[in-house]
Amino acid sequence: MEIYLIIMLVLMILGSIYSLHAKDLLSAVISYGIVGFGLVISFLLLQAPDLAIVQVVVEIVTLVIMIAVIKNTTHEENEKSFSFSTIFYLAVVLVFAATFFIIFDKMTGTLSSFGQHFTRMSTAYIEGAHETGSANLVTGIVFDFRAYDTLGEATVLFTAVIGVLTILRLKGKKKDYK
Amino acid sequence: MILFILCFILFMVGLYGVMTRKNLIKIIIGVAVMEYSVNLFFILVGYVDGATVPILTKGFEKGPFVDPLPQAMILTAIVIGLATTALLLSIAIRLYRKYGTFDIRKINSLKG
């Protein structure tokens, strides 16, 4: 079980590295799909079928939007030109990686190791599941115990849709103020 | 532990893409990869060995479940991630229509 997850994660890492270095933007987007669908299989292995279903839909929609963007613009990667700023940015990435790894190491030290998780917070949710009337605990939590989260999600989605419509509007308002 | 570290490496690949790539689409891909790795990390933390899907079925009413709370949180986060990616891509289209390129070194004029 754990070995399958390791294989999926290594595949996802390789796919994302190839995607960032691909010569053509279309192949970059398609190999980015490896990451998303690898995530779907990982969710299934980790006993999270709700997330797997949502992730499949989200990944397909993301890929369709990205391919539509590339088809309407260009799929040429811009020409390479070596500059010293690349080395500077690589150094910044290394500094970030070192800092994050120290924090990550401290943080995961307090977590229990993989598979030994103790459901401390959600015991009340699991025991009170019959009050919600939902057989699925995840939807029970999302729509009953934590319904305000869904309200916030709807707000964010609404804002994003308004933003996309505003940005992609073809004509601006006529400037006839005098 | 090796799974957590692989997840961390995936996050770092995304950060590397955001910092060093010069193409807007690849920067957006880097952001999305970072987001996916964080989602996966939460679910990895909530996994319990030998536990079942958190769905109440006959014979599994009490049985050990994987933690449903991170799953509920990440369900929200995935959809929000789609919204942010769509917003970033629409900004990229707008920039392409103005400048004719995705190269961020050429998108450098602040004039309206």
Condensed to tens digits (0 to 9), the pLDDT of residues B39-78 reads 999 999 888 888 888 888 887 777 788 888 889 989 999 9
Could you tell me if residue A89 is inside a domain? no
Give the Cα separation of A66 and B25 in Å (integer).
8
pLDDT given at position A171: 67
Angle between helices A49-72 and B24-45 (to 10 degrees): 180
Predicted confidence (pLDDT) at residue A148 exceeds the cutoff of 70: yes
Reference B100, options A68, A20, A76; nearest CA is A76
Give the count of domains, chain A.
2
Residues A67 and A140 placed together within one structural domain of the fold:
no
Residues of A in contact with B56 (CB under 8 A): 129-130, 135-137
Instruction: Say what the pLDDT of residue A19 is.
Output: 92
Task: Report if residue A41 sits inside a domain.
Answer: yes
Q: Could you tell me where the DSSP H helices lie in chain A?
A: 2-21, 25-45, 49-72, 84-110, 123-127, 129-132, 137-140, 147-168
Its domain, for residue A44, covers 1-78
Residues A65, A137 share a domain: no
Instruction: Judge whether A165 lies within some domain.
Output: yes
Three-state DSSP at B104 gives coil
Domains of chain B (ranges; CATH) run 2-99 (1.10.287.3510)
The answer to whether residue A101 sits within a structural domain is no
**Residues A1, A65 within the same domain:** yes
- Paired with A107 in beta bridges are none
Rounded to whole angstroms, the Cα distance separating B90 from B74 reads 24
Q: pLDDT averaged over chain A?
A: 86
- Mean pLDDT value of segment A128-144: 83
Question: Between A and B, how many residue pairs show a Cβ–Cβ distance under 8 A?
Answer: 234
Look at residues A78, A112, A144 and tell me which one is the last residue of a structural domain: A78
Which candidate from B15, B55, B71 shows the least CB-CB separation from A51?
B71
pLDDT grade for A77, boundaries at 50, 70 and 90: confident
Identify whether residues A74 and A136 lie together within a single domain: no
Of A63, A78, A93, the residue that ends a domain is A78
Q: Is A67 a domain residue? A: yes
Residue B25 sits at the chain A interface (C-beta within 8 Å): yes
Q: Is residue A119 part of a domain?
A: no
CB A144 within 8 A of CB A132: yes
Confidence of residue B105 (pLDDT cuts 50, 70, 90): confident
ipTM (interface predicted TM):
0.89
A156 and B87 Cβ atoms separated by less than 8 Å: no
Contacts of A61 in chain B (CB under 8 A): 82
E strand or H helix at B44: helix B24-45
Which of A78, A114, A156 faces B44 most closely, judged by CB atoms? A114
Asked if A61 and A34 count as a contact pair (C-beta separation under 8 A), the reply is: no
Domain assignment present for A121 = no
Confidence at residue A175, expressed as pLDDT on a 0 to 100 scale = 63
- In chain B, what residues touch A123 (CB-CB under 8 Å)? none
Q: Is the model's pLDDT at A14 over the cut of 60?
A: yes
Residues A2 and A74 in one domain: yes
Q: How many angstroms separate the CA atoms of B66 and B56, rounded?
A: 12
Q: What per-residue confidence (pLDDT) applies to A174?
A: 63
CA distance A117 to A108: 12
In a domain, residue A48? The reply is yes
With CA atoms as reference, the chain A residue closest to B57 would be A135
* N-term to C-term CA, chain B: 50
